[in-house]
Each structure stands twice: as C-alpha cells, then as structure tokens.
Amino acid sequence: MTIDLPAQLLAAALPPVEQEHLLEARQMQALSFAVHIPLVCFGIAFPSMVLLVESLYLRTGDELYRTLAKRWSKVMIALFAVGVVTGTILSFEMGLLWPNFMATFGDVFGLAFGLEGFSFFVEAIFIAIYVYGWDRMSPRLHLLSGVPVVVAGLTGSLFVISVNAWMNNPSGFRLEDGRAVDVEPWDALFGSAHLWPELTHMYLAGLIVAGFLVAAAYAWGWLKGRRGRYERIALAVPLTVAALAAPVQVVAGDWIARRVADDQPTKLAALEGLGTTTRGAPIHVLGWYDDGEVRYGIEIPKLLSLLAEHDPNATIRGLDAVAPDYRPPVNIVRVAFQTMVGIGTLLAVLGVVHLATWFRRRRFVESRWFHWAVVAAGPASVVALIAGWVATEVGRQPWVVYGVMRTSAAVTGADGVPVGYATLVVVYLGLGFAVAWILRRLAGRPLELPPEPPPILEAHGAR
C-alpha cells in the first residue's frame, strides 16, 4: 500500500462534513476501548483457567478445586455481563462516531462482525449453562459445557482482530469515486498478513492480563497472611498461566513488529522515533523525540535494522518519507510503545523466575518481594495492554484505514459529541465503582470449603 495517494482517490461514500470535535470523538472511542479491552482479557483467559481447575477436581475428586472453580465462575459471569454491555457500546459507537467509515467500508469488514456475533451467541449461551448448571448435571457434562466458552473466546478475538488487522493493512477492494467496489470480504479479512501476529499477540495479552490480575489479588492476600491451601492453589493457577505466556509474548512482539516494518513503515518510524531514513538504524531506549531525533535516549547502534530486517545495515524508512500531515504524533506513540516493551520485558523475567522455581522445587518463591512483584504485575500488565493499543491505533493516524481513509473523513457530522463524551465518562466511572464493589462482595463471601482434617490427624498421617 502506498501512502502518497492523491486526495481525490481517498475513500468516502457519504459527502464529507465538518466536525469541530474530531478530537473528542477519537478520545471517546479510545476511552470505550480502554474500558472494554481489559474485560475482554477475562473473556479470553478466565474460562480456560476455570476449566483447568475444574478438570483438576474431576481428576482428584478434591472438593477444594470444585469450590475454587465455582467461585471463579461467579466472577466470570459478572465480568462477562460488563464485557457484554461495554462491547455493545462499541458496536453503537462504530456507527455513532464513524458513520462514514461504516458507510464506505461496512461491506468490506462487516462480515467479521457478523461471524463475531455468532461467537458471542455461543459464548453467552454456554457461559449461562456452565454457571447456572453447577450441581445440575453430571460433573463431566458440566466441564464439557464450558469448552464452547473457551472456543468462542478465541474465535471472537479472531474475528474482531481481523477487522483491526484490515484497518492496519487494508486489501480486498478497489476504490472508485470514493466507494469500495469489487469487494472480496474473505480475502480482506483473513488474507491479511497482519492478522495472525496480531491475533497471537492479543490472545497472549489476554492470558497475561487476566492471569496476572487474578494472581495479584491472591498475592496480596498472601502478603496479608492468607496462605491456606485454597489460596495457594488459587494463586498457582493464574500465575503459572501468565508466567508461561509472558516470555512467549516477547517473541510474538518481535513478530508483529516485523509485520509493522513491512506494512506500515511510517508507524514503525514513529514507534522508534526515527526522524530520517537511515541505513543501519539504531534503537533508542527512553528519551524524548524532538525535531527529528531522539534526545536523552540510550542509543543501541544498528539494532533496529537488525530486528526489523535481520540485517544490521538495512535501510529503514524514517518519518521524513511522508509529508508532515501524514505523520502520527510521535511522542505519544513512542512512549506508549516503550512502556509496553519495558513492562513486557519485566513480566517475562518475573514469569521465568516463577517457572524455574516451580519447576525445580514445586513451590512458589516464598519471599515477600516476589509476591509484591506479582501484585505490581497485575496493574502493570493492564498498562502494557492499553499502551500497546495506543501505539497501534494512534500510530496509524491520521488514517483510520491505513493509506485509504483519513480519520477526519470518517467522523460523524452530528452535534453533541462532547456531551456524549462527558456522559460516557460519568457512566464509565459508575461502572468502575460497580465492578469494584461486585468483586469485593464476591470475594467477601464465606468460603464453603470441605472440612479439613483436624491438625492432629494430619500430623499422624504425615508421621
């Protein structure tokens, strides 16, 4: 895709409009995503963790696993309900904020949302059967009823990510008078080279975020002295899942970065703050982009060329390859990217530490600093998640569809965007409090654990 298309070739099915509140519209969209996406991580990863615990119950017959899985499933359905409504807001916003984007390209990518709709159906149906079906069916059947939830979480992410991958790397249509013609929707959605790395990276992020957040809650409990068998298992499962995913995420991140280098050179230049096209381009850690170069950063020579092209002397396109109003806001993109990579690296280290200890000694690192690190890893992984999306979406600017449609051409002509934005802020604040309150209530319910054997007996049994 070239990005220097003459203006009249740009897409727009409806005539262009003036919208003085474009910035608010974008922020409103970003806010809604930032609320939805952490919930999505639970939709992706929590069902697998609950099923893992339930299958441990089936294998051992130990009631403790059952209690844990049952309690988690209550959290799962509460978060699902919130995921459903925040996702619905997003579906509305696509039309409310970006009617011309939908009018021009709805027929290119709409298919993916149709397929996603069916994933949601399956997810909603089986999550209800699973959660309301405790004690109402045979344990095996019950476990089985949870499997479609896991599968639907995967397919749901696949379809929605295929839309985002297409926005980043559009294909499967031709433009004629600003309209998309000769549309090949399958090709547009599933033929994109961007799809698979993006899906992998997002799915892993789901495992990492949900895993570390749940683990953080129990690690906090550990620091507060709640260290029973129940709590230890409840910590081990999410921590292990996240710890396995975190190192893999670094590799997946490298993969997606190479796709960006191929398909969106301007975005790569913004991610790395590369002002001018350079042979043997370096990477800067930290620092601030100013006037064409990174200041105060730590320079690692030739690394960017090596990583992006596997050749230390490869030429990397800089921001100067396109006119200034075709460049994204570099510092937002770059800081977000560095935040993600920094946190990602630390999470990977934490994961490896946990795995190595667990593997050799079959227990946790029994130190306070480790548990503090897990507590911090929860929110940090959410920050990495949001930062990654900011890097992706802001890095694509000024395009909504890379190289084809500018965001300013997509926006609605309706008044009242700031009012809608303010309303949503209030609603989301209320939502946040509500979720916090629900989680506290659910966590505060008394455990219905099977009676543990009295200590004396245990001591005898252990001799």
Partner 1 sequence: MALAEVPAVLILVGLAAYVVFAGADFGAGLWYLLAGPGRRGRAIRDFSYHAMAPVWEANHVWLIFVLVVAWTAYPTAFGSIASTLALPLFVAAVGIILRGTAYALRSGAPQDRETEGATGFVFGASSILTPLALGAAVGAIASGRVPVGNAEGDLVTSWLNATSLLIGALAVATAGYLAAVYLAGDAVRERKPELARAFRVRALAMGLVAGALAVGGLVVLREDSRPLFDGLTSGAGLAAVLVSALVGLVTLALVRAGRYEPARFSAALAVAAIVAGWGIAQSPDLLPGLTIEDAAAGRSTLWALLISIAAGLVILVPSLALLYGLVLRGRFDLGAPAGQEPPQPQATRGARGLAAAAVTLLVVGVALTLFADGIALAIGVLSLVGFIALGAIEFLR
- Rounded to a whole number of angstroms, the minimum distance from the CB of residue 314 to ligand HDD is 17
Tell me which of 105, 120, 289, 337 binds ligand HEM, using CB under 6 A. 120
Tell me the sheet residues that pair with 278.
316
Check: CB of residue 324 under 8 Å from CB of residue 364.
no
Of 9-17, 287-295, 307-315, 391-399, the segment contacting ligand HEM by CB under 6 A is 391-399
Rg (CA), the chain: 24
Q: Which does 196 bind (CB under 5 to 8 A by kind): partner 1, ligand HDD, ligand HEM, none?
A: partner 1
Q: 106 vs 287, which CB is nearer to partner 1?
A: 106
Identify which of 153, 347, 374 has the alpha carbon closest to the alpha carbon of residue 245: 347
Task: Give how far Cα 176 sits from Cα of 13, 181, 182, 375, Å.
Answer: 10, 7, 10, 54
43 binds ligand HEM (CB under 6 A): yes
Site for ligand HEM in 266-305 (CB under 6 A): none
Q: 96 vs 346, which CB is nearer to partner 1?
A: 96
90 binds ligand HEM (CB under 6 A): yes
Q: Which does 241 bind (CB under 5 to 8 A by kind): ligand HEM, ligand HDD, partner 1, none?
A: partner 1
Residue 350: its H or E element: helix 330-361
Q: Which does 344 bind (CB under 5 to 8 A by kind): ligand HDD, partner 1, ligand HEM, none?
A: ligand HDD
Compute the distance between CA of residue 385 and CA of residue 210 in angstroms, rounded to an integer: 11
390 binds ligand HEM (CB under 6 A): yes
Q: Which residues bind ligand HDD (CB under 6 A)?
A: 168, 198, 201-202, 205, 208-209, 249-250, 253-254, 256-257, 260, 267, 340-341, 343-345, 347, 381, 384-385, 388-389, 391-392, 395
Tell me which of 11, 12, 28, 44 binds ligand HEM, using CB under 6 A. 44
48 binds ligand HEM (CB under 6 A): no
- Rounded to a whole number of angstroms, the minimum distance from the CB of residue 283 to ligand HDD is 11
C-alpha torsion 200→205→206→207, nearest 10 = 90
Compute the distance between CA of residue 354 and CA of residue 117 in angstroms, rounded to an integer: 38
- Rounded to a whole number of angstroms, the minimum distance from the CB of residue 412 to ligand HEM is 11
Of 66-74, 89-97, 212-220, 339-347, the segment contacting ligand HEM by CB under 6 A is 89-97
Q: 194 vs 327, which CB is nearer to partner 1?
A: 194
336 binds ligand HEM (CB under 6 A): no
Q: Which does 209 bind (CB under 5 to 8 A by kind): ligand HDD, ligand HEM, partner 1, none?
A: ligand HDD
β-bridge pairing 399-401 and 293-295: unpaired
Task: Give how far Cα 44 sits from Cα of 65, 74, 123, 247, 368, Å.
Answer: 21, 16, 11, 19, 30
Compute the distance between CA of residue 110 and CA of residue 343 in angstroms, rounded to an integer: 34
CA 328 to chain centre: 21
Residue type, 157: S
Compute the distance between CA of residue 366 and CA of residue 364 in angstroms, rounded to an integer: 5
Check: CB of residue 411 under 8 Å from CB of residue 22.
yes
Residue type, 459: A
Of 78-86, 168-176, 249-257, 301-309, the segment contacting ligand HEM by CB under 6 A is 78-86
- Which positions ≥6 away from 20 have C-beta within 8 Å? none
Q: Which does 40 bind (CB under 5 to 8 A by kind): partner 1, ligand HEM, ligand HDD, none?
A: ligand HEM
Identify which of 77, 73, 33, 31 has the alpha carbon closest to the alpha carbon of residue 53: 73
Check: CB of residue 224 under 8 Å from CB of residue 375.
no
Question: For the residues of 391-438, what is the DSSP string, one character each?
Answer: HHHHHHTTEEETTTEEHHHHS---S-HHHHHHHHHHHHHHHHHHHHHH
Tell me which of 5, 9, 63, 88 binds ligand HEM, using CB under 6 A. 88
Q: 181 vs 459, which CB is nearer to partner 1?
A: 181
- Rounded to a whole number of angstroms, the minimum distance from the CB of residue 329 to partner 1 is 26
Burial class (CB in 10 A: 0-12, 13-18, 19+), 110: middle
389 binds ligand HEM (CB under 6 A): yes
Q: 350 vs 385, which CB is nearer to ligand HEM?
A: 385
- Total Cβ atoms within 10 A of residue 227: 15
394 binds ligand HEM (CB under 6 A): yes
Binding residues vs ligand HEM (CB under 6 A): 26, 29-30, 33-34, 36-37, 39-40, 43-44, 80, 83-84, 87-88, 90-91, 94, 98, 101, 120, 123-124, 153, 156-157, 160-161, 163-164, 202, 386, 389-390, 393-394, 396-397, 400, 407, 410
